[in-house]
Amino acid sequence: MPEINVILVKALRERTAAGVMNCKNVLVEAGGDIDAAAKLLQERRLLPEAAKRRPTSEGLLVFMIEERCGAIIELAAETDFVSRNPLFQRAAEDLARVVVAVRGRLDETLAAPSPDGQGDVAGYISRLAATFGENIHLRRTAILETEHGIIGAYAHNAPAPGLGRMVALVSVSGADSDVAANEIARKLAVHVVGAAPLWTTAEQVPAAIRNQKRLGAGRNHEHHMAENELDSAIEVRLQRFYDQTVLLRQQYLLEPSRTVAEALLCAAGPAAYIEDFVCYRVGEDAAHDARVAQAAEFEWTFGNDWSNERPARMTVLGEDRIFEVSPTGPRLRDDRDAVDLINAAWSRGATVIALPVARLAVDFFPLSTRKAGTILQKFSNFGTRVAIVGDLSVELAQSSALRDFIFETNNRGQVIFVQDLEALTQKLRQSQHPHRADFHG
């Protein structure tokens, strides 16, 4: 047996944050094998609470469909290094199978038999955490069942089939055929990931939120409108809110000339309907219910009116229509705000969005937050051209990584950074094909 010296104990402590005596005891039992000792600490719940509370902003989503039941699980980890590991990915798939088998909520899943036959799922995850030396836990699970319909699924940023950082399930019933239902359900899952709806129909929007939106719209217009005009403006604002948040009323991202309802009718027949949907994103602090609460409290961009003349205006330049967001307009805080902005621009027939640097999220830079990549990727996914307008000379002087990021982004052309609107205008004028999906001239 190797000698359990200070170096081994220190290495195990740095990896697990466990106490000195606990580290020494498990090292003795494990014969000096640090990996085995870490597993013993995890299995015996000897890790300190601080280690268990370490942030888990990374991880992986997995969907699994068996017959007419679909499941999504989120297995959370501390780093993307772990989430990219094949062992971690296989474990996530095994856990998704457990959720489908037991039709279980989170607590039921944790109490279910382990995929490896050793104890329960909770113990299985503890052993997985010990293997990687990270705080790993099953963040949440979702089940979507249908009696007679078809479930479609989509995983975005997928390292392997069924795995991704954004996953959606959509159930469709009443279609003309199973083939039609399968195809449209899968396409609708793609749409749900991109457009982030909150409800399937307008009737599902809680009355409290509808009333809150009416009050908010009224406050925005009451000082300069007659009563009949105010009622009309409030109704327009509420209908726009539905167009942004209700699945059937959203512009269908795969065919923007149609709504989702129209696309469903065309693809699957007049009797087809969407039963339900689920959409998760890795690292979300809040799931569907919390997002609904945020919408009601105007903490989300649903309280921002990107199409109003005060925060934005349209400028026509040849065949291009530029949607200019005002320097005092709404702030672009996350990828869902990006979807709202895209919808507002599309509704005005815009071909280009001009967004001032001042309206970016306060943590858009530095790049270590990953917010810049996440938000800008949304514009690329939807084929929407956007120009970030403003002076970034101070930030560029401080960060070579930012200089490289902007250089690469400008080369791709879907999203560009320009000094001012005049520079954007010149770039658009130089373009030989103003409707191409990039800014290259």
How many Å separate Cα 232 from the centre of its chain?
Answer: 34
How many Å separate Cα 326 from the centre of its chain?
Answer: 26
Q: What is the pLDDT of residue 51?
A: 55
Report the alpha-carbon angle 335-340-341, nearest 5: 90
Which residues share a beta bridge with 76?
A: 59, 137
Which stretch of DSSP H or E encloses residue 166?
A: strand 166-173
Provide the token pair at 365. Answer: 């830079």
Burial 80-118 (b: 16+ CB within 10 A, else e): eebbebeebbebbbbbbebbbbbebebeebbebebbeee
Phi, psi angle pair for 285, to nearest 5°: -80, -20
How many other C-beta atoms can be found within 10 angstroms of the C-beta atom of residue 317? 14
SS3 72: strand
Q: What is the pLDDT of residue 11?
A: 82
How far apart are the C-alpha atoms of 69 and 161, rounded to whole Å? 18
Domains of the chain: 6-47 (1.10.8.10), 58-194 (3.30.479.20), 196-268 (no CATH), 304-430 (3.30.750)
How many other C-beta atoms can be found within 10 angstroms of the C-beta atom of residue 15? 19
Give residues with Cβ within 8 angstroms of 119, minimum separation 6. 113
Phi, psi angle pair for 278, to nearest 5°: -135, 140
Torsion of CA 333, 335, 336, 339, to 10 degrees: 110
Report the candidate in 234, 309, 247, 237 with the shortest Cα–Cα distance to residue 275: 247
Q: What is the pLDDT of residue 212?
A: 62
**CA max distance for the chain:** 88
Tens place of pLDDT per residue across the chain (441 aa) = 567 788 888 888 776 666 677 788 888 888 888 888 887 876 665 555 555 556 777 899 999 999 899 999 999 998 888 888 999 999 999 999 999 999 878 889 999 999 988 889 988 998 888 778 788 999 999 999 999 999 999 998 788 899 998 899 999 999 999 999 999 999 999 999 888 888 999 998 877 666 765 555 555 444 455 666 666 767 777 787 788 889 999 999 999 899 999 999 999 999 999 999 999 988 765 444 444 444 444 333 333 444 443 456 788 887 788 888 887 777 787 777 787 787 777 766 778 899 998 888 777 876 665 677 777 877 776 678 899 999 888 878 777 777 777 877 777 777 888 888 888 888 888 764 544 444 444
Phi, psi angle pair for 437, to nearest 5°: -80, 15
How far apart are the C-alpha atoms of 189 and 177, rounded to whole Å? 18
DSSP 100: H
How far apart are the C-alpha atoms of 278 and 189, rounded to whole Å? 9
How far apart are the C-alpha atoms of 254 and 265, rounded to whole Å? 15
Report the candidate in 253, 243, 245, 100 with the shortest Cα–Cα distance to residue 162: 100
Sheet holding 273-281, edge to edge: 150-156, 166-173, 273-281
- Report whether 326 contacts 240 (CB < 8 A): no
DSSP string, 220-246: HHTTS--HHHHHHHHHHHHHHHHHHHB
DSSP 96: H
